[in-house]
Amino acid sequence: MIKKLLIYFVRFYQYTLSPLLGLTCRFYPTCSEYMILALQKHGAMKGAYLGVKRICRCHPWNPGGHDPVPESTILSKEKSVK
């Protein structure tokens, strides 16, 4: 439920605000698309964490480039070891 709500907010941003701002993301996939993919792959908590972490890296001093959503996170690996 929370995951769907977060995806809705990102889609709202993509269709309303993003066209007004222009192409400003220096990463592929874009930060908003990354957030949606992370939410779909890792759920609401981890996906939102990964998305916010990615948005914090999106600034003029970062070269950007291809940055896919990770298959698993360190937290997932630690839980599977226990």
- Identify whether 80 is part of a domain: no
pTM given for the model: 0.80
Q: Which helix (H) or strand (E) holds 65?
A: strand 65-66
Neighbours of 7 (CB within 10 A): 16
Q: What is the pLDDT of residues 44-79, one digit of tens each?
A: 999 999 999 998 988 888 888 888 899 875 655 555
Write out the residue range of the structural domain in which residue 19 sits: 1-75
Query: Looking at the 3D structure of the chain, how many domains does it have?
Result: 1
**Token pair 């896919």: residue:** 68
81 lies in some domain: no
Give Cα 8 to chain centroid, integer Å: 13
User: Between helices 74-81 and 31-57, what is the axis angle to 10°?
Assistant: 90
- Residue 48 resides in a domain: yes
Instruction: Quote the radius of gyration of the chain (alpha carbons, Å).
Output: 14
Would residue 82 count as lying in a domain?
Answer: no
